[in-house]
Structure 1
Amino acid sequence: MPDLRSLIVAAGLCLALAAPMAEAQSHSRVKFEPGNDNAAINGAIVGDAYVDYLLGAKAGQTMAVSLIPGASNGHGTIYFNIMPPGSTGEAIYNGSVDGLDATGVKLPKSGDYRIRVYQMGDDADKGKTTSFMVSIGIN
């Protein structure tokens, strides 16, 4: 049976290894300027990290999202998903399948929606940094 000290050291090592993965993800709230119904945000993704943009909306509204990869990446492997309130990863729009321009996405319920920007394939696996601009609008 392992001694208490070994268990504590092992638990600490597990936490130390998990911490960088948890910190790699980020989120920010989207705020529109007074009188505007859209916002443009510049950002960057590194490797398999992702960024979530949170936007409060009401059921029945429509959302539009466009993602433009940075010039250094051309048309690389950067995508976005739109996830409804309470989602554990399920998307109502999947950019890797449906494309980088979502228009007229009808929102099924009220609450905070997540627009998740991420990389796939070799860019994610090899830790590539990809810049982007995402435009988010709601009506």
Structure 2
Amino acid sequence: MRKKLLSCALALSAIALSTSLVAAPRTERVAFAKGASSKVIKGTVKGYDYVDYVIGARGGQLLTVNLTTNRGSNYFNIMAKGNEAAYFIGSAEGNSFRGPVPATGDQVIRVYLMRNDARRGVVANYTLKISIVD
């Protein structure tokens, strides 16, 4: 009986630990003020959590995204909504993007921490500047 209880306790502990490592994504729709073509967003990201900023754009519009952060392992990726393949990968290309939107529709700017800080539960404070012009 003790072995069964111990096995159950270990199994429950493993489940609790594994669920604490799962990312808790947050999604925010980005809207510009009337007449504006840019927006500055201040935020935080912790551990394996990430934030998806969703913005509508037309194909060919010029998208500019700049990330300023207090952590060297805080980056962003950009992808079309519904497509996990990013067309900009911050950890490889840096914290600034300027280029045309590949296709009309929602674009997702995902702010995250690299694994080295994520696994330690580090908190990154950041400022994200997003602009879109024709």
TM-score tier, shorter chain, comes to: 0.7 to 0.9
Per-residue deviation, 1:18 = 4.7
The C-alpha deviation readout for 1:8-49, integer Å capped at 9, x for no partner, is xx9xxx7xx659836x11010001011110000010011011
Q: TM-score, normalised by structure 1?
A: 0.78
Q: Is the 8 A contact 2:67 2:126 kept in 1?
A: yes
Q: Distance in 2 between matches of 1:78 and 1:19?
A: 20
Identity %: 37
Q: Distance in 2 between matches of 1:138 and 1:36?
A: 9
The C-alpha deviation readout for 1:37-63, integer Å capped at 9, x for no partner, is 000001001101110000000111110
Per-residue deviation, 1:86 = 2.7
Task: State the SS of the aligned residue for 1:34.
Answer: coil
Of 56, 74, 80, the match for 2:76: 80
Q: Given the alignment of the two structures, is residue 117 of structure 1 paired with residue 118 of structure 2, yes or no?
A: no
Of 128, 131, 134, the match for 2:125: 131
Q: Given the alignment of the two structures, is residue 92 of structure 1 paired with residue 87 of structure 2, yes or no?
A: yes
Q: Is the 8 A contact 2:48 2:115 kept in 1?
A: no
Q: Distance in 1 between matches of 2:129 and 2:33?
A: 13
Q: TM-score, normalised by structure 2?
A: 0.81
Q: Is the 8 A contact 1:68 1:100 kept in 2?
A: yes
Q: Is the 8 A contact 2:22 2:48 kept in 1?
A: no
Q: Is the 8 A contact 1:85 1:110 kept in 2?
A: no
Q: Deviating runs (4+, > 6 A) in structure 1?
A: none
Per-residue deviation, 1:123 = 1.0
What is the aligned residue count? Answer: 121
Aligned partner letter, 1:67: L
